[in-house]
Amino acid sequence: MPRSARATSLTRRGLLAAGGAVGLGAALAACGGGDDKGSGKPADGGGKGGTWSFTDDRGTKVKLDQTPKNIVAFTGTAAALKDFGVEVKGVFGPTTVKDAKTGAMTADVQAGDLDIDKVKVIGNVWGEFKIEEYLKLDPDVLVTDMWEKDALWYVPEEQKDKILKIAPSVALWAAGKSMPFVLQRHADLAASLGADVNGERIKSDKARFEAAAERVRKAAKAKKGVKVLIGSGSPDTFYVSAPARPTDTLFFQELGVDLVVPDKLDPSGWFELLSWENVDKYQADVILLDNRTSALQPEALKAKPTWAALPAVKAGQVFPRVTEPVYSYAKCAPLLEDLAKALENAKKVA
C-alpha cells in the first residue's frame, strides 16, 4: 500500500489533499463520460482520426471527438504509457527528487524513462495538484491509477470535482488484480491512443516478462520453504504488507513464492503496523523492502538495532521492492528477474 495512506490507517481517499484553487471561473467546463461497459478499444481503430472511446476499470466509457493528444497522467502511469509508445504532456505524483550530494533535481524511481525536463510537473507530492497549471496544458484526458474502487490516485479529494470538470478521467487498477491483467489494461489504453503494442519491441518486452515469470516459478519451487516478507520502514513503524491486494505480490503468490501473511491488519486491510521493538514478529529468510523515496532505505535502517538483528538482514538477503511498478513489460520484466535471482541465491536463515 502506498505510504501516503499510512498517516491515518484509512483508505487513500482524500488523505492530505490540498485545498481548491481559486480564480478558475468559466474555464471549468464540464466534459463527457458515461458508465457504459465496453472492450476498452478505440472507436477509430487506434487514433487515425474520428471519434475515440475507452472503457476504463471503473466501467466508465470516455468518449471524445478525436484521439487525445494533450494527456496528463499520474507519473507512474505516464511512464508506462511512454514505454508503450505514448507521450504525455503533464504529470502529477512523485516525479523529481533532489540529489542529496549535488542538490540537482533527478528523476524519482516512479518516473521511469520520462524526460523530466520535457513534461510539465503539476504536482510532485501527495496532495499537490496545481489546477491553474493543469488548465494551461489544455488537457484532453486525465489518466491515473486506482487503488480503491473509484478513487483516483494522487487526485486530491478536495479538488477532485473541479479537476474532473476540466477533462474526463481514465482510471486503471493498480491493486486487486494480478500483474499480467494490469499490464494488459495499460497496453489496451496505449493501443487506443495510437501506440503499436504489437510491434517487435513490445513483443520482445512481453517475451522477456513471461520468461522472467517462469524463472520465478522455478526458483520458488526449488526454494520451497524460503519465507519472503514484504516490508516498508518509517522512522517509528515497520509495515508488513498483506500480499492479497498489491498486483505484484498477488502475482508472486501465483508463481509459488511463499510470502509472509500478517495476521493483524490495520483497518485499511493493506498491512500490519509493527513497532521497531516488535519488528521480529515474523521470521523471514528474505525481505523485499519498499524502494520508494518516501520509505527508509537500508542505509538509514542501520540505525535501528532490531532491524540489524533480523536473520534476513544479517544474511544480506534484503532486496528492493518496486512497490508502485511502472506497468509496462519493459519495467516489470527486470522486477521479476531480480526476484528470481534473489530466490535462487537465498538460504534458509530464519
pLDDT in tens, 4-26: 443 333 333 332 222 222 223 32
What is the rounded CA–CA span in Å between residue 191 and residue 150? 23
How high is the pLDDT of residue 207?
98
Q: Virtual CA dihedral for 96, 100, 103, 104, nearest 10 degrees?
A: -40
User: How far, in Å, CA of 204 to CA of 201, rounded?
Assistant: 5
Dmax over CA atoms of the chain, in Å, equals 64
Cα separation of 110 and 123, whole Å?
Answer: 14
Q: Give pLDDT, residue 49.
A: 53
For residues 121 and 110, the answer to whether their CB atoms sit within 8 Å is no
Over pLDDT 70: what percentage of the chain?
86
Percentage of the chain modeled with pLDDT above 90: 79
Q: What is the pTM of this model?
A: 0.84
How far is the C-alpha of 340 from the C-alpha of 72, rounded, in Å?
35
Report pLDDT for 104.
87
Q: Which of 336, 324, 345, 341 is nearest to 112 (CA)?
A: 324
Each residue's pLDDT tens digit, 245-303: 999 999 999 999 999 999 999 888 899 999 999 999 999 999 999 988 889 999 999 99
> Taking the alpha carbons of 332, 336, 342, 346 in that order, is the dihedral positive or negative?
positive
